[in-house]
Amino acid sequence: MFFRSRNNKREMKENKLILGFIGLMVSGCLYAQPPVSDPQMDALVGDLMSRMTLDEKIGQLNLLAVGFDVTGPQLSKDAETKIRHGLVGGILNTYTPDAVRKLQSLAVKESRLGIPLLFGYDLIHGHKTVFPIPLALSCTWNPDLIERSACIAATEASADGINWTFSPMVDIARDPRWGRIAEGAGEDPYLGAQIARAMVRGYQGDDLSRSNALMACVKHFALYGAAEAGRDYNTVDMSRIRMYQYYLPPYQAAVEAGAGSVMSSFNEINGVPATANHWLLTDLLRTQWGFQGFVVTDYAAISEMSEHGMGDFRKDAALALNAGVDMDMVSEAYLNYLPELVAHGEISESMIDQACRRILEAKYKLGLFTDPYRGCTMERARREMLTPENRKAAREMAEQSFVLLKNDRQLLPLKKSGVIALVGPLADDQENLLGCCRGGGDWQQAVSLRTGISHVAGSAVTILHAKGANLTDDPALRATLKAFGEEIPVDSRSPREMVAEAVAMAARADVVVAVLGEAFSMSGEAASRSDIGLPECQRDLLQALVETGKPVVLVLMNGRPLTLGWEAEHCGAILETWFGGTEAGNAVADVLFGNYNPSGKLTATFPRNVGQIPIYYNHKNTGRPYLSDPGAKYVSRFLDVSNDPLYPFGYGLSYTTFAYGDIKLSQTNLIGDQTLLASVAVTNAGRRAGEETVQLYLSQPAASVTRSVEDLRGFQKVRLQPGETREVTFRITPDDLKFYNGNLEYDWEPGEFIVRIGSDSASLKSATVRWSKQAVTAKTP
């Protein structure tokens, strides 16, 4: 039975009154900001809640894992029986119209009140059409394109029965050892916030009830990317000022963009796990930011709280609910303990009502009470997934996400003629191209680079192919990945034989393209690495190829910044292609042969070695900055490596070059709300059309708290023909000068500001202005 009384107007009206009263009480004591009222929604939800038992309300707070993917150590049992008894609010990891319809019809036809289920899934970078991994997408510096990727993902996934995505992941990451750096937008809060907004818009659109929209879930709230040593799930400890300045802005941006849900993170914050953290989930999220949706835990996070040291499971259920967690993913702590906690007066029933209401409201907004299946059919799924247009978009996104790290003597682009030795474990690979967190993606749909080259370069190019090396020969790593069910295929030949074959091919070729990197399972969740170089067997192969004396183009496929000191010294060209998704091979070939001129810019710093980590561009100056004098002692430096990264934030080359003129300012003394115009002339000084991301950074050398050496505050992408010059202008207002002061107030302080504009965070023109709060009045004698 589907929600029976939806047409009973009289009943709805009566319940509206009751609801209005409850709503007032709720808003009076629990909401800092009154919820946006929707009388129809309030009536429907109110009516339902007036007829729900306590167990049924608790059931709405229960999210079970059923089906295809397992992302934690537990899987839910007896899901079907529980659905029939109204003890489940949502399911994760089930999709396809048939599977979803089956479970949804149990809920709407066989449970007492017929309340539909949410169907959540990790759609991290696409569904069937898989886009580049999020870290790669962020390197496009193109929020519109990223919004489109989320929009396409929503269309495909909703056709497959999903209505809720556990995305965007907006965790700032300054540590590439952390495998989940692959799932985010890198290290910068300004760019991260823009991308967070774009993704929420892309998934949700402006009307969640459209059958092709998905509800977004911002994760992992909060600070999950700051795990000590980059070891996944490790402790986070951070000052408030650092979190406000650098880590919280993307979450806040996603909330402000209207994200329907937020996921609490696994880590602790200020000594209390996020899932039990009232300050985080209520004071900050709801009171300060005005969040109106619901909060779900990460996978079984309540059951992990005792391991954190928070006492037993039963107590932790109460802690989580009181902190502000509405929905319990997988652990079933709410289902098992909330009834008795209410009975013993240890939690108040109104907390359960509040959580239940938030979940029912989300279901209402998704239109589930009107059509619980949201029009998903096998026919629609076939029609809307992996369409040629979606593949085309994936190819475009992949092209824009690649970062050209080195290109000596214009080794790239390659000519569409001659002989190429295409070598390496990823040269003819499909399986790894989708990267981590590939959701419903099917790697067999992915285009390998070898195939892509045949599409793009045609028959005038002769390709000699050799694998050359396994992805890794490290037995311990292989054993661990095997235990995870992610076995790395190993060639039966010895490493020496494989290298010899590749070297022989290189000898016959004009140029070597070495396609090296990580297995997809070496980044993503539970995939931290302490050594982030190329695996040894691949490095040996590369060394042998370099020794042939043939020009070597290194094409990288990987999920994190790598340490590439040796490679940067010895390879003629390096193209970072991350894991490029379904169309990776075509897109890489487009770039290698110059059909697309690379334009990606790094959003995470590439360190020289692991000892430099954490290394990020918006660091503090310290009291003893190192200013490049090699003899300087007692300054903040290493003895054995420079302070500079190998490749800085914002960096990325093109097949053309861009020349920057000096900064022109509209004025150099500003007062109050005035607007500063800062312009540079950017010239395409090469012979190919190309796109440049012009970046604006601001610094404030003196303030009431120490500031970053510079902060990104704007960027513009410009496409220039050879020889063309464009004046690029940034409008800077006092809003761009704001930061969190010692009292955590977001404001600006008068003083001197350095405006920096250029092509990456380390290659910038600069100019200085003074900005005061008010005009200095002349003193009367």
Dihedral pair phi/psi, residue 21, rounded to 5°: -65, -50
> For ligand BGC, which is the closer residue by CB, 122 or 160?
122
- Helix 388-401 and helix 143-159: axis angle, to 10°? 150
Q: Which amino acid is at 628?
A: S
> For ligand BGC, which is the closer residue by CB, 64 or 513?
64
User: What is the smallest separation between the CB atom of 199 and ligand BGC, expressed in angstroms?
Assistant: 14
User: Which residues does 165 contact at the CB level (< 8 Å), separation at least 6?
Assistant: 120, 121, 122, 123, 153, 154, 157, 203, 214, 215, 216, 217
Token pair for residue 545?
């190829």
Q: What is the 3-state secondary structure (H, E, C) of 641-694?
A: CCCCCCECCCCCECCCCEEECCCEECCCEEECCCCEEEEEEEEECCCCCEEEEE
Considering only 42, 47, 56, 122, the residue that binds ligand BGC (CB under 6 A) is 122
> For ligand BGC, which is the closer residue by CB, 221 or 579?
221
CA-nearest of 661, 664, 658, 715 to 689 is 658
> For ligand BGC, which is the closer residue by CB, 165 or 699?
165
Considering only 299, 373, 520, 606, the residue that binds ligand BGC (CB under 6 A) is 299
Residue 119 as a binder of ligand BGC (CB under 6 A): the answer is: no
User: What is the smallest separation between the CB atom of 65 and ligand BGC, expressed in angstroms?
Assistant: 8
Dihedral pair phi/psi, residue 753, rounded to 5°: -130, 140
Token pair for residue 511?
């140029």
- Helix 349-365 and helix 333-343: axis angle, to 10°? 140
> For ligand BGC, which is the closer residue by CB, 223 or 420?
223
* Cα–Cα distance, 742 to 720 (Å, whole number): 44
User: What is the smallest separation between the CB atom of 436 and ligand BGC, expressed in angstroms?
Assistant: 11
Which string of b and e fits 540-572 if b means at least 16 CB within 10 Å?
bbbebbbebebbbbbbbbbbbbbbbeebbeebb
Do the Cβ atoms of 282 and 323 come closer than 8 Å? yes
DSSP sequence for 88-114: -SEEES--SHHHHHHHHHIIIIISSS-
Considering only 283, 353, 525, 536, the residue that binds ligand BGC (CB under 6 A) is 525
User: What is the smallest separation between the CB atom of 321 and ligand BGC, expressed in angstroms?
Assistant: 20
> For ligand BGC, which is the closer residue by CB, 122 or 175?
122
> For ligand BGC, which is the closer residue by CB, 269 or 575?
269
* Cα–Cα distance, 585 to 579 (Å, whole number): 10
> For ligand BGC, which is the closer residue by CB, 74 or 348?
74
* Cα–Cα distance, 302 to 655 (Å, whole number): 51
3-state secondary structure of 444: helix
> For ligand BGC, which is the closer residue by CB, 122 or 760?
122
User: What is the smallest separation between the CB atom of 266 and ligand BGC, expressed in angstroms?
Assistant: 7
- Footprint of ligand BGC on residues 405-444 (CB under 6 A)? none
CA-nearest of 258, 257, 252, 197 to 223 is 252
User: What is the smallest separation between the CB atom of 756 and ligand BGC, expressed in angstroms?
Assistant: 35
> For ligand BGC, which is the closer residue by CB, 124 or 712?
124
- Footprint of ligand BGC on residues 218-257 (CB under 6 A)? 219
User: What is the smallest separation between the CB atom of 525 and ligand BGC, expressed in angstroms?
Assistant: 6
Which string of b and e fits 508-537 if b means at least 16 CB within 10 Å?
ebebbbbbbbbbbbbbbbebbbeebbbbeb
- Footprint of ligand BGC on residues 89-118 (CB under 6 A)? 92
> For ligand BGC, which is the closer residue by CB, 103 or 588?
103
* Cα–Cα distance, 444 to 432 (Å, whole number): 10
Token pair for residue 495?
């490493």
- Footprint of ligand BGC on residues 44-73 (CB under 6 A)? 71-72
Considering only 166, 617, 715, 753, the residue that binds ligand BGC (CB under 6 A) is 166
Do the Cβ atoms of 582 and 149 come closer than 8 Å? no
User: What is the smallest separation between the CB atom of 303 and ligand BGC, expressed in angstroms?
Assistant: 13
User: What is the smallest separation between the CB atom of 121 and ligand BGC, expressed in angstroms?
Assistant: 8
> For ligand BGC, which is the closer residue by CB, 259 or 412?
259
**Could you give the C-alpha distances from 630 to 7, 25, 349, 565, 633, in angstroms and in order?**
79, 67, 67, 20, 8
Is residue 702 reached through a cis peptide bond, with omega within 30 degrees of 0 on the bond before it?
no
* Cα–Cα distance, 629 to 522 (Å, whole number): 39
> Residues with catalytic annotation?
298
Token pair for residue 125?
């970078």
User: What is the smallest separation between the CB atom of 263 and ligand BGC, expressed in angstroms?
Assistant: 6
User: What is the smallest separation between the CB atom of 275 and ligand BGC, expressed in angstroms?
Assistant: 12
**Could you give the C-alpha distances from 353 to 31, 301, 321, 329, in angstroms and in order?**
13, 22, 11, 18
Dihedral pair phi/psi, residue 227, rounded to 5°: -60, 135
- CA distance from start to end of the chain: 86
User: What is the smallest separation between the CB atom of 132 and ligand BGC, expressed in angstroms?
Assistant: 18
Beta bridge partners of 248: none
Dihedral pair phi/psi, residue 399, rounded to 5°: -55, -45
CB-count burial class (<10 Å; 0-12, 13-18, 19+) for 727: exposed
Ramachandran class of 693: left when φ > 0, alpha when ψ lies in -120 to 50, beta otherwise: beta
User: What is the smallest separation between the CB atom of 216 and ligand BGC, expressed in angstroms?
Assistant: 12
Considering only 298, 304, 384, 691, the residue that binds ligand BGC (CB under 6 A) is 298
> For ligand BGC, which is the closer residue by CB, 219 or 450?
219
Beta bridge partners of 659: 683
3-state secondary structure of 553: strand
Task: Mark 564-603 with x for binding to ligand BGC (rule: CB under 6 A) and - for no binding.
Answer: ----------------------------------------
Q: How many residues bind ligand BGC (CB under 6 A)?
A: 9
The footprint of ligand BGC (CB under 6 A) covers: 71-72, 92, 122, 166, 219, 298-299, 525
